[in-house]
Amino acid sequence: LSPWVQLALTLPAVCWAGLPFFQRGLASLRTGHFNMFTLIMFGVGAAFGYSLVATIFPDAFPVTFRMPDGSLPVYYEAAGVVVALVLVGQVLELRARAAIGNAIRALLDLTPKQAHRIGADGQENDVAVEDIATGDRLRVRPGESVPVDGMVLNGASSVDEAMITGEPAPVAKKPGDAVTGGTINGTGSLEIEARAVGSD
């Protein structure tokens, strides 16, 4: 392809699709905090700028710059490919962030709104999870979610920790074992001591 055709094809990619990268690169120069966009701005700008000058003013370059056939090499494709690859990377990063955000929201949804707190008299009272304090004794009944991170004081059960560890098999819990908020208790009843609550 002639340099003019390459220029026409690359111009939208660099000046439109790549505009946000140049804006971020300039912002990094102003603040003095260089980042990936600083490098992209200089790399794409150098390749495109040289190619543009070589296309419009070919006679300005000495013979040593020329190919054996007398033409000047241009690097429009390099500028366009870099912009395209960075755009693909940005899209993949956004998708990954969205997936992580959805996973975090799903974990938060697993946390129950209420818990069964055991008083000094041994009676159980339903309280909001936000009202649980470190050191509180809590009852986790079969099939319920563990309200907060804690340690098993009494009872034995198997706890489904798949949403935390990815391990499909339930993990047996006995006195002295740690439990994680949001995991699902199995068929046994557990008495736990709160070790880390929402404020922690």
Longest dimension (CA), the chain: 96
Number of domains in the chain: 2
Q: What is the CA radius of gyration of the chain?
A: 31
Domain final residue pick, 58, 81, 109: 109
**Would you state the pLDDT for residue 112?**
79
**Would you state the pLDDT for residue 152?**
97
**Would you state the pLDDT for residue 110?**
66
**Would you state the pLDDT for residue 100?**
86
Domain final residue pick, 59, 86, 109: 109
Angle between the N-to-C axes of helices 3-12 and 76-110, in degrees from 0 to 180, rounded to the nearest 10 = 20
User: The domain spanning residue 191 has which CATH number?
Assistant: 2.70.150.10
Query: Are residues 9 and 36 located together in one domain of the fold?
Result: yes
**pLDDT tens digits along 59-115:** 989 888 888 888 899 999 999 999 999 999 999 999 999 998 887 777 667 677 889
Query: Are residues 76 and 98 located together in one domain of the fold?
Result: yes
Domain extent, residue 133, equals 114-196
The tens-digit pLDDT sequence of the chain (200 residues) is 889 999 999 999 999 999 999 999 999 999 999 999 999 999 999 999 999 999 999 998 988 888 888 889 999 999 999 999 999 999 999 999 999 888 777 766 767 788 999 998 989 999 999 899 999 999 999 999 999 999 999 999 999 998 778 788 899 999 999 999 889 999 999 999 999 886 55
Both tokens of 52, joined, read 């543009």
Query: Are residues 48 and 139 located together in one domain of the fold?
Result: no
| Lookup result for tokens 């309200």 | 147
